[in-house]
Structure 1
């Protein structure tokens, strides 16, 4: 009985090793499907045999020791490199991806026998997906600018270098400012904004007005609303489409607030979802109806500033610190009743800072925090409507004001449910 179980396990593991090679071989074969037979170093059969050979080496190791499997692996690597070299000289193509993939497949086949099968299978799928993403990744690199690369490096520096050395305790006499938490929240907001910025850079306006509005809402819904307002003034015929994009930006902005609370204060999210969920849905539906209805197919341009510029990051960190001090001081001296006023005033200018500050307030009931954040969110909608009226065309401002008003009413209706 025990022998049968051992044989069954060995069969399963060797089958997984073979399947890994076939999976990678299918992807590699598809990439080089235009090549004539016999002109490729490796295809489905070669990758399948490579992974099976790796699995068989793993099967032999407990029996023959490590020397024989190591010798086979070295011979395999030399063979692959020699044939890759011959192909490179013949075709003038010096890509090492095929050779590295073959060696990786051998190692995964070995791992299928000696390591955890689930982890090995997941690794194989991940590697295959990476190989298949050649064109999107190359297209991304072609579009990537030095400013965006620098922004990514700034984000990594903020996370890996600066964050670990900051004290994780309050450093002011009033016990209000924790540098570690403050910087971590700054990183989180910056990372979310940077994702939206990259999405806009990858898709441009050609991907559609609603997608542009949604991506702009991840970066800065206020900046997008103002940018679209100015364009509606210059091109009134696009007012409906521009207003639709601004509505989508508002919906994403409210959803972003829910995301932030879900990460840092799940208890607040439970209360806040009833308030902001209906408002976000109203904005999304309004934007969808306005953007997808028949009309001009032109798409406006929106070019946001990089959210991870050093000055932008430091300014937000300072703003977050200031808002944190103000909200905690208001709570200390005037009680929870003052939070609505502070939230309204702060929300007119920046929604992220007040959301982070209130959500992290100690000893504040979740329902009070949720109502204060909702006040800030609705104040932010009011501010954007004001910007639309000042800088935009009449059609743009009226459409945005009507849907924003409906969103606020939907949120207020949700408040009666809490």
Structure 2
């Protein structure tokens, strides 16, 4: 049986050779001996990192650092000699070699999941050089600024916000509210790039599918505001209905995880609502406007839209206060009313809550009705958001599909 240290060293060798495979392929036309490092060198670099990490226990951590510095100096010297010959001053291979050495050490010092993931990501970044360079050449100043602004509000501001409840009834959680602000702004930026790369037609559908998995409500707000800059109400309404369609199987999946016994009564209203939205989305897609006749120049006016996301965050905070107040004053008797109020913002939290309570606190019928009411409310909210952030031209295409879904849910709820 292979001993664990030897197995880890072999893993390090495999990870290094994976990166070396890409580097060797990239420089496959270089004469023999003309490459700084190839598949063998990268494999040995990673294995050296693993061996240095193993030696750190008897000899101290200085051995790992010392060997790493020596490897970096050797790579730097090889690059200097090579650049003098072909005048190529890029240091990608040198940096990749240093990363490979560190990966080898990480296979010994950490869980294997992290170095394996980093090795795959490194190989992907190295391989898509031309794609990345091509994207950079075609990004405008506004687009770069939009990406940096999204990074600021997500990677810098979000982590420092307190993830705990404040205010009356502990209703306001700054981290959760700002997370939704980031989500809405991110969906808007993703929609912009999807439409820029594939055209409004396919871009809206791609964004709706991804946005529907994350938050169909946030997706609705983003597409509704886009209607002012991209007058394609049938296409945008189709996207909103498609995102809504995804919400219902997501509810069933959450219930299946928490309390599978509810699925027998819940699948009918959720399936009916999903079919209603899907049918109307299909019809709108087949009768959508030819976007080639629409001026899309306004689309790139401002890729990053923070203010609409902030407005929605403020609205969310108000609704959170309202729902917690109803819970505090009405208790169990107001459970269905709480479901309706909770559905104004999000169906996931009330779905998980009622599914858990149905184990021993409330009846299954009460839980199923509450979850369905929350889904109906959230479906109608999408129509309200479309009117609030969009235009009547969008609403008159969107509302029939939402109303059909609600009617089907109510019918199935009464029949079951």
For structure 2, the residue ranges without an aligned partner over 5 or more in a row are none
Q: Structure 1's 48 and 372: CA in aligned 2 closer, same or farther, altered over 3 A?
A: same
Q: Does 2:345 align with 1:352?
A: yes
| Equivalent in the alignment of 1:380 | 381
Q: Distance in 1 between matches of 2:181 and 2:399?
A: 29
Q: Which runs of 5+ in 1 are unaligned?
A: 233-237
CA distance in 1, matches of 2:4, 2:327: 63
Aligned in 2, Cα 1:385/1:183: closer, same or farther, shift over 3 Å? Answer: closer
Instruction: Give 2:324's aligned residue.
Output: 328
Distance 1:200 1:29, change over 3 A: farther
Once residues 386 and 146 of structure 2 are traced to their aligned partners in structure 1, the CA distance between those partners, rounded to angstroms, is 32
CA contact (8 A) 1:13 1:113 kept: yes
CA deviations 1:190-213 (Å, max 9, x no partner) are 233233223213322552142244
In structure 1, which of residues 408, 415, 418 is the aligned counterpart of residue 413 of structure 2? 415
Q: CA deviation at 1:156?
A: 3.3
8 Å contact from structure 2 (residues 19, 42) kept in 1: yes
- Change over 3 Å in CA distance of 1:63–1:231 after alignment to 2: closer
Shift of 1:150: 1.9
Retained in 2: the 8 A contact 1:14–1:55?
A: yes
- Distance in 1 separating the partners of 2:122 and 2:151: 23
Equivalent residues of 2:9, 2:51 under 8 A apart: yes
Q: Which residue of 1 aligns with 2:71?
A: 76
CA spacing shift, 1:250–1:111, aligned 2, 3 Å: closer
**In 2 relative to 1, CA 107–328 (structure 1 residues): closer, same or farther, beyond 3 Å?**
closer
Counterpart of 2:170 in 1: which secondary structure? coil
- Return the alpha-carbon distance in structure 2 between the equivalents of residues 390 and 417 of structure 1: 36
Counterpart-to-counterpart distance in 1, 2:349 and 2:183 = 14
Per-residue CA distance 1:94-117 (angstroms, 9 max, x = gap):
433211211222333344467655
Whether the aligned pair in 2 keeps the contact of 1:52 and 1:109 (CA below 8 Å) is yes
Shift of 1:140: 6.1
Query: Counterpart of 2:11 in 1: which secondary structure?
Result: helix
The Cα shift of 1:163 comes to 1.9
| Number of the residue aligned with 2:38 | 43
Number of matched residues?
389
Q: 2:127 aligns with which of 128, 132, 135?
A: 132
Residue 191 of structure 2 corresponds to 200
Q: Which residue of the partner structure matches residue 82 of structure 2?
A: 87
Task: Return the offset for 1:359.
Answer: 7.8
Which range is displaced more, 142-151 or 213-222?
Answer: 213-222
- SS across alignment from 1:392: helix
**Aligned CA-pair RMSD:** 4.9
Moved more, 149-158 or 76-85: 149-158
* Structure 1 SS opposite 2:324: helix
Q: Alpha-carbon deviation of 1:25? A: 0.7
Offset of 1:11 from its aligned partner? 4.5
Once the two structures are superposed, residues 28-66 of structure 1 have per-residue CA deviations (whole angstroms, 9 ceiling, x without a partner) of 223344545544311212212323344454566678887
Matches of 1:171 and 1:368, distance apart in 2: 30
What TM-score results when the alignment is normalised by the length of structure 1? Answer: 0.69
Matched with 2:12 is 17
